[in-house]
Structure 1
Amino acid sequence: MALRRALHFVFKVGDRAKTATFYRDVLGMKILRHEEFEEGCKATCNGPYEGKWSKTMVGFGPEDDHFVAELTYNYGVGEYQLGNDFLGLTLQSSQAVRNAKRLGWPLTEVGEALYLTQAPGGYPFYLVDKEQPSSDPVQKVCLGVSDLQTSTHYWTKLLGMKVLENNEEKKTVLIGFSDSQCKLELHDNSGAVDHGTAFGRIAFSCPREQLPGLEALMKKENQKILTPLVSLDTPGKATVEVVILADPDGHEICFVGDEAFSQLSMVDPKGNELLDKAMAEDKSDEWFAKHNKQKAAA
């Protein structure tokens, strides 16, 4: 399955300005593209919401060879409740560590040359205090699972990943489609997985021709399909086809046809400017303050 590739993880954000500061100024990522939508997404990209929302892709380099973050912002929703499903994203950048210290962003040393910090909303990020590699600095995403054996079987036998490392002491299994891309670490929670309302989604690409077969395999194996094969439109950009699955613990997994996604995900030189413009024009915080109300908590 070398043709399959890890793309991004979706984070729901309640405070776009603080979130932009974290990714741009602390981590040192770039805004790759920014898109505004007037109504909810057919594949519930923005969660179970019908209203106006935005999507911002941020990363250390282009989406065709870097694992990035997709920041989903629903106008009018100020916070989300974290579960124990997303356990951290690990990246290697001593520059990010220096940035955090300079800006006074909270850092906790949790190991040798390893720091824990949090994105706004409480999402854990692990920073390896070593020089940023010329390749993608994002090393792995860690997800909590209730049964390590069951989850490992699902991700390897059904989705085609390979086991790269098995740590019985830490109750973790490291898997991936190849050694050269962002890995997925499964961590046994020793109990049920709670997705809260902040539940994210991990995305992968594959050749478009594999999507119907993947969907058919999940039906045959009686696995959950959240969104059967569907076309998603982005204003002025390529239309992509996706299938959205759920693993045994309900982690959302999006597979997208690679050919159209390559067109959709081209870096937009105006991305930074579009995000700043959208944030400047978003008067929702002022409106809620003026009416002495609080933004909804999802």
Structure 2
Amino acid sequence: MGWESISFATTSWWVRGLTLQSSQAVSNAKRLGWPLTEVGEALYLTRAPGGYPFYLVDKEQPHSDPVQKVCLGVSDLQRSTHYWTTLLGMKVVEKNEEKKTVLLGFADTHCKLELRDNGGTVDHGTAFGRIAFSCPREQLPDLEALMKKENQKILTPLVSLDTPGKTTVEVVILADPDGHEICFVGDEAFRQLSKVDPEGNKLLDKAMAEDKSDEWFAKHNRQKAAA
């Protein structure tokens, strides 16, 4: 199909771990006294303040993407493998019968997706997340048509999203058998929108300083989602 993995934007406990290759990250954690557990050769497990698991590979960061793998919990490994390979075109890189995992990828140089059998249903709780891929814009209608033909869930049909002063990007958002959201976006426009803004840090600091989300949730007597 020609998909190219761009990012894994996820925020949820059903993401079983994010693997990064960076000796600098390991060094920083040790220097700051952040808890690290050695779980393999040159491999450490650490957790974000909210409990989100990160696996750090103690090797020099690659020139491409330091994110090596994202692991998702699934309720039926065979069913999920069929969905991601037969329908979405990922290739099986490795199977581990003992750990009940399957490692998938679109290409050797791209971040990999690992599916791990939970042995039951996947509870998303109050967290949310989305895995994002890019592909040539012309392939999006075919993807949508295939999912309709196979009676698969489409959360957002093919839509064009305008960004003021910038390009228009097209996306299709799907859900796999366990409800993991998957966004496919037109690569050409996405790359334009992904360019580094020289004012990015300043704008982010300003937005964070002006954030009123806690007040909004309190006012509406609603609980703010947490990972």
TM-score by length of 2: 0.90
2:93 maps to amino acid:
L
Q: Are 2:199 and 1:277 aligned? A: no
Task: Return the alpha-carbon distance in structure 1 between the equivalents of residues 204 and 33 of structure 2.
Answer: 24
Q: Are 2:6 and 1:7 aligned? A: yes
Residue in 2 aligned with 1:154?
A: 83
Task: Return the alpha-carbon distance in structure 2 between the equivalents of residues 102 and 237 of structure 1.
Answer: 41
Cα deviation, residue 157, structure 1:
0.5
1:131 maps to amino acid:
E
1:4 maps to amino acid:
W
SS at match of 1:277: helix
**Contact 1:162–1:175, Cα closer than 8 Å, also in 2:** yes
Cα deviation, residue 103, structure 1:
2.2
Q: Are 2:185 and 1:256 aligned? A: yes
Task: Return the alpha-carbon distance in structure 1 between the equivalents of residues 123 and 109 of structure 2.
Answer: 31
Q: Are 2:187 and 1:188 aligned? A: no
Residue in 2 aligned with 1:207?
A: 136
1:10 maps to amino acid:
A
**Residue identity (%):** 81
Closer/same/farther in 2, CA of residues 125 and 235 from structure 1, 3 Å limit:
farther
**Contact 1:11–1:198, Cα closer than 8 Å, also in 2:** no
C-alpha root-mean-square deviation of aligned residues, in Å? 2.2
1:296 maps to amino acid:
Q
Residue in 2 aligned with 1:143?
A: 72
Pairs aligned (count): 224
1:194-220 CA-to-partner distances (Å, cap 9, x unmatched) read: 111212110011111111110110011
Task: Return the alpha-carbon distance in structure 1 between the equivalents of residues 180 and 89 of structure 2.
Answer: 17
Cα deviation, residue 150, structure 1:
0.7
Residues 1-298 of structure 1: pairs in structure 2 closer than 5 A:
1=1, 3-12=2-11, 82-83=12-13, 85-282=14-211, 296-298=223-225
**Contact 1:174–1:184, Cα closer than 8 Å, also in 2:** yes
Task: Return the alpha-carbon distance in structure 2 between the equivalents of residues 294 and 219 of structure 1.
Answer: 38
Task: Return the alpha-carbon distance in structure 1 between the equivalents of residues 212 and 102 of structure 2.
Answer: 45
2:72 maps to amino acid:
L
1:71-120 CA-to-partner distances (Å, cap 9, x unmatched) read: xxxxxxxxxxx54x211110111100111122233322222221112234
1:28-50 CA-to-partner distances (Å, cap 9, x unmatched) read: xxxxxxxxxxxxxxxxxxxxxxx
**Contact 1:231–1:242, Cα closer than 8 Å, also in 2:** yes
1:127 maps to amino acid:
L
TM-score by length of 1: 0.70
